[in-house]
Amino acid sequence: MLKKKLMLLNPFGSMGADSEEILPEGGLGAVAAHAGVGKTALLVQLALNAMIRGKKVLHISLQDPVNKVSIWYHELFNNIVQQLGITGSHEIWEEILPNRFIMTFKVEGFNVPKLKERLTDLMAQNIFLPQIVIIDGLNFDEDVRETVTALQALAGEHALRLWFTVHVHRHEEPAIEEMPSRLATMADFFEVVIKLLPEDGVTCIKPLKVKSAFPPLFLDPATMLIRQQS
Amino acid sequence: MNHNEKKVRNIGISAHIDSGKTTLTERILFYTKRIHAIHDVKGKDGVGATMDSMELEKERGITIASAATFCEWLDHEINIIDTPGHVDFTIEVERSLRVLDGAILVLCSVGGVQSQSITVDQQMKRYKVPCLAFINKCDRSGANPERVIAQLKSRLGHNAVALQLPIGLEGDFEGVVDLITFQAYYFEGESGEKVRIAEVPEAMRSETQAKREALIDTVSLYSDELTEALLAEEEITVEMIRAALRKGTLARQITPVLMGSAYKNKAVQPLLDAVTWFLPCPSDVENVALDRNNNEEPVVLANDPGKPLVALAFKLEDGQYGQLTYIRVYQGCLAKGATIVNARTGKKVKVGRLVRMHADQMEEIDAIPSGYIGALFGIECASGDTFVSPEVNYTMLSMFVPKPVISLAIAPKDNKSEINMSKALNRFTKEDPTFHSYVDGETNETIIEGMGELHLEVYVERMRREYGAEVTTGNPRVAYRETITQRADFNYTHRKQTGGAGQYGRVAGYVEPTADEDFVFENKVFGGAIPTQFIAAVEKGFRSCLAKGPKLEFPVTGIKVVINDGASHAVDSSDIAFQAAARGAFREGYMKAKPVIQEPIMKVVVETPTEFQGASMGLLNQRRGMIVGAQDEGVMTVIEAQVPLSEMFGFSTILRSATQGKAQFTMEFDHYRLVPQSIAEKIAEEAAARKKSAA
């Protein structure tokens, strides 16, 4: 019952129910923003939403340790249930937690063959079969074309939906139509590109490239939760 | 006793079992003239090395508990705290790491960096303890200090810098060349006590020169003075190099490496020199206490004898004169005759005899100023207690003590063992707040409780060794709990009319789950349906049901009882009648409220070489474990999982065999979680069988 309420009232509903509909199987999505604007917060909510629906999420962080990533999930989950006034959410948390797996690498230690090896370890032993993968902290300053190509192949092979965070530098001028220049050359890889833009004390969620349009959304600066613009 | 705390070193000697830690300590005590003869560890002469004061350690040649001993070298006072090498004695390790400021990491020149060295190193990293490395056993065949240094870099990630070169190796090991002073050191005399300083052997000159330059290059990062001298091509003095090395070591950015052979009495003295030069004095280290008046907020302590006292009792020992309490003073001064407060109990005590310890011998002193370690007599306290001046309320360790999650029935084999067992239990429960013991009222068995299988095993072993108490043990039992999952009403009337005064009481209301507390009782009875004087009896009746839940006789937690109606009788109602009515009401409401069983879930952290991470995850998964995450740290991977305690029995053996002994794990209680249906049925069967056998 509570879970149903969570599903129905989830702010993500307005963004196309869940990531499933935003991103097709084997597709790549990117969330671009300056540091500290809320890329991780947005993707963690996307992940929580999928977890509540019973989807398996693999969260790969190239910057934070496992504990810190866990805290993101816990905090945002608590904020969501608090906002919805749901009590007794502890059981739901316990229930959805097995739907998440956190993997962390040092940025320099991350490469696709290694990830493939890890995924095989998990899948062959039936420990965890991810459906959505979040890669937080891949350095797009460097030439990652090869890495992204390999990841795209991996996504196709295992029918994964792959999300990236893209760190945009403040001094950087966007290429065309707000598209961050480092993404512009690689735009073909991505089915969905979302940009977070701080405006008037709130962070607007701007779709730069989407399958189906969604109503104007923003991140509440206090809770970092996705809200519809009123 | 001089009070120059700049010349105090509180150090630990950490090592893999069998890398020669105790022998090294013994030699240190010999050269610092604290002992006058040298004994072997596994005492052929029946005496045993001086530091191993515990019987079990003497026999096995391992060190479990930490004793502190004092010695002097180059006008410095060195307190050596013997640290346990085993990861599972977490409380013990934590305490000794709180007490020491720096450490010597002893490595075997043949075995190199082994898995346990990795664990020890990780603990030191966690507590930010600066260290020196000593590559021991350079006289053994297969000795290769260079390889060990490479391992220190690759496996432990240390910026290891050799300060010496060996003169000969294996059977030809004669001494060392000091790269800083450009001199050769030979150790002569019966026990290597005569240090002969000579010129560097001709054949080693060019190598020494090259290594010296590399050393200066590395340490120049930590000293502007040295860098400037290098650039100006001025003379680099020994003091400059030492100052830079000290700076790098204190910041944990350099690990100076020394080498020798403690057993062959070679190159222990230069290690002691290095301790005085490179390891921190108490004020180089920041110590933090928790302020209990301010929600355990951390407070940085000042290493100042004039400030209010803050001291930690880190080890208790039963001596012939009563309890001896080892104590480290972090702030203020612990003086004879002063009144101090035990922060845990709030009790004031007067300081009696103060002594400085050298393993089994002692020296009377008048005061222990901040930064120093000593021992007190005649103070009743538990290990880990903080002593403070009456004006502050700080604690060095958090007061939070987790509840035990595992229990074991023990029975003495004979009469003598029975007396000794109770002595031992009395001591252990004082030493370790996570260890409990009690006598089960129904079965009359003595039950010990603790935080894990090994935790209890160690105590059973210590009972045998130290107290001569032979005990038999039952199977370890997991501390399951019961709770309810939904609200349910009750309305129970207790009526008894069997001659004499009757009993009458009716209690109505509901039970519901509560997450915050173990038990909440709320009285919403209006209009005197239950007379006020019986409300306390009703609550008592409900409380009496908590110890053994109606479902499977496990303790009940997380339940709220609300009473809102009832009835009484002018003559037949009594406290006893209402207690009985409450018990009946509890059973009635409880069984309707869908009771469930919960089990302790442990946070398990496995550190494994990356090639075994898949296998390790598989093992955790098979044990109903939920893997939270895997952290890739280059050669090692750290896997964090939540696993039911009941599935963790024997895990260490299985993990070892699956990873060639290269993976380690730590385990601590995390939370209670609902037991899955199939497992709950199994538990119910076991409980029924146990009940049958008890009857």
Condensed to tens digits (0 to 9), the pLDDT of residues B496-515 reads: 887 777 899 999 999 999 87
Tell me how far apart the alpha carbons of residues B363 and B374 are, in angstroms, rounded to a whole number.
Answer: 10
Q: Is the dihedral of CA B685, B686, B689, B695 positive or negative?
A: negative
**Cβ neighbours of B640 in A, within 8 Å:** 66-67
Is B626 within 8 Å of A65 when comparing Cβ atoms?
A: no
**Cβ neighbours of B627 in A, within 8 Å:** 101, 127-128
Q: Which residue has the higher pLDDT, B307 or A177?
A: B307
| C-alpha B559 chain-centroid distance | 34
pLDDT for the residue numbered B59: 43
B627 interfacial to chain A (CB closer than 8 Å): yes
**Cβ neighbours of B638 in A, within 8 Å:** 66
Q: Region A87-116: what's the mean pLDDT?
A: 87
Ramachandran region, residue B422 (left: φ > 0; alpha: ψ -120 to 50; beta: rest): alpha
**Cβ neighbours of A120 in B, within 8 Å:** 614
Is B617 within 8 Å of A125 when comparing Cβ atoms?
A: yes
Give the tens place of pLDDT for each residue, B648-671.
888 888 888 888 877 878 777 788
At the second CATH level, the architecture of B406-474 is 2-Layer Sandwich (3.30)
Checking if the pLDDT of B45 tops 50, the result is: no
CA distances from B536 to B533, B558, B578 (A): 7, 20, 9
Give the tens place of pLDDT for each residue, A120-156.
989 988 899 999 999 999 988 888 889 999 999 999 9
The band of A5, judged by pLDDT with boundaries at 50, 70 and 90, is: low
Query: Starting from the edge strand earliest in sequence, which strands make up the sheet with B288-291, in order?
Result: B297-300, B288-291, B394-395
B618 interfacial to chain A (CB closer than 8 Å): yes
Which of B126, B628, B659 to probe by mutation at the A interface, max A CB count within 10 Å? B628
Out of 3.40.309.10, 3.40.50.620, 1.10.3720.10, 2.40.30.10, the CATH code matching B288-395 is 2.40.30.10
DSSP 3-state assignment of B12? strand
- Residue appearing with tokens 């907020």: B297
Is A106 within 8 Å of B621 when comparing Cβ atoms?
A: no
Q: Which residue has the higher pLDDT, B37 or B306?
A: B306
**Cβ neighbours of A118 in B, within 8 Å:** 613-614, 630
CA-based nearest residue in chain A for residue B631: A104
Tell me how far apart the alpha carbons of residues B601 and B667 are, in angstroms, rounded to a whole number.
Answer: 10
Q: Which residue has the higher pLDDT, A6 or A180?
A: A180
Q: Region B109-128: what's the mean pLDDT?
A: 74
pLDDT for the residue numbered B42: 46
DSSP 3-state assignment of B308? coil
In this structure, what token pair is assigned to residue B656? 């070892």
Cβ–Cβ contacts within 10 Å for residue B273, how many?
Answer: 17
pLDDT for the residue numbered B563: 94
Please list the alpha-helical segments (H only) found in B493-568.
Answer: 532-543
Please list the alpha-helical segments (H only) found in B623-676.
Answer: 651-658
pLDDT for the residue numbered A181: 80
pLDDT for the residue numbered B61: 37
Domain at B598-679, CATH class: alpha beta
Checking if the pLDDT of B48 tops 50, the result is: no
Question: Among residues B100, B82, B14, B69, which one has the least CA distance to residue B281?
Answer: B100
Gap from B639 CA to chain A (nearest CA, Å): 9
B628 interfacial to chain A (CB closer than 8 Å): yes
The helix or strand, by DSSP H or E, that contains position B361, with its residue range, turns out to be: strand B361-365
Q: Region B174-184: what's the mean pLDDT?
A: 92
Tell me how far apart the alpha carbons of residues A52 and A93 are, in angstroms, rounded to a whole number.
Answer: 9
Q: B387 φ, ψ to 5°?
A: -110, 135
B330, HSE (Cβ side, Cα atoms, 13 Å): 27
In this structure, what token pair is assigned to residue B644? 């039911």
The band of A90, judged by pLDDT with boundaries at 50, 70 and 90, is: confident
CA distances from B652 to B15, B435, B454 (A): 20, 21, 10
Mean pLDDT taken over chain A? 84
B635 interfacial to chain A (CB closer than 8 Å): no
**Cβ neighbours of B483 in A, within 8 Å:** none
CA-based nearest residue in chain B for residue A59: B629
pLDDT for the residue numbered B26: 80
The band of B286, judged by pLDDT with boundaries at 50, 70 and 90, is: confident
Percent of chain B with pLDDT over 90: 31
| pTM attached to this predicted model | 0.64
Q: Region B258-284: what's the mean pLDDT?
A: 91
Is A101 within 8 Å of B618 when comparing Cβ atoms?
A: no
Q: What is the DSSP string of B204-227?
A: GHHHHHHHHHHHHHHHGGG-HHHH
Which of A122, A123, A129, A135 to probe by mutation at the B interface, max B CB count within 10 Å? A122
Give the tens place of pLDDT for each residue, B417-473.
899 999 899 888 877 778 889 888 777 889 998 877 777 888 898 888 888 889 998
Q: Provide the pairing of β-strand B288-291 with A28-33.
A: unpaired
Q: Is the domain defined by B486-593 classed in CATH 3.40.605.10? A: no
The band of A162, judged by pLDDT with boundaries at 50, 70 and 90, is: very high
Is A102 within 8 Å of B630 when comparing Cβ atoms?
A: yes
B411, HSE (Cβ side, Cα atoms, 13 Å): 8
Q: Is the domain defined by B5-284 classed in CATH 3.40.50.150? A: no
Gap from B579 CA to chain A (nearest CA, Å): 31
Ramachandran region, residue B169 (left: φ > 0; alpha: ψ -120 to 50; beta: rest): beta
Q: Do domains B406-474 and B598-679 have the same CATH topology?
A: yes
Tally: H helices and E strands in chain A: 8, 9
**Sequence spans of domains, chain B:** 5-284, 288-395, 406-474, 486-593, 598-679
Angle value at C-alpha B481, between B479 and B483, nearest 5 degrees: 175
B611 interfacial to chain A (CB closer than 8 Å): no
Domain annotation for chain A: domains and CATH numbers: 2-228 (3.40.50.300)
pLDDT for the residue numbered B505: 92
Total residues found in chain A within this entry: 230
Gap from A82 CA to chain B (nearest CA, Å): 16
Q: Which of B627, B629, B633 lies at the smallest CB-CB distance from A69?
A: B629
CA-based nearest residue in chain A for residue B616: A121
Gap from A125 CA to chain B (nearest CA, Å): 6
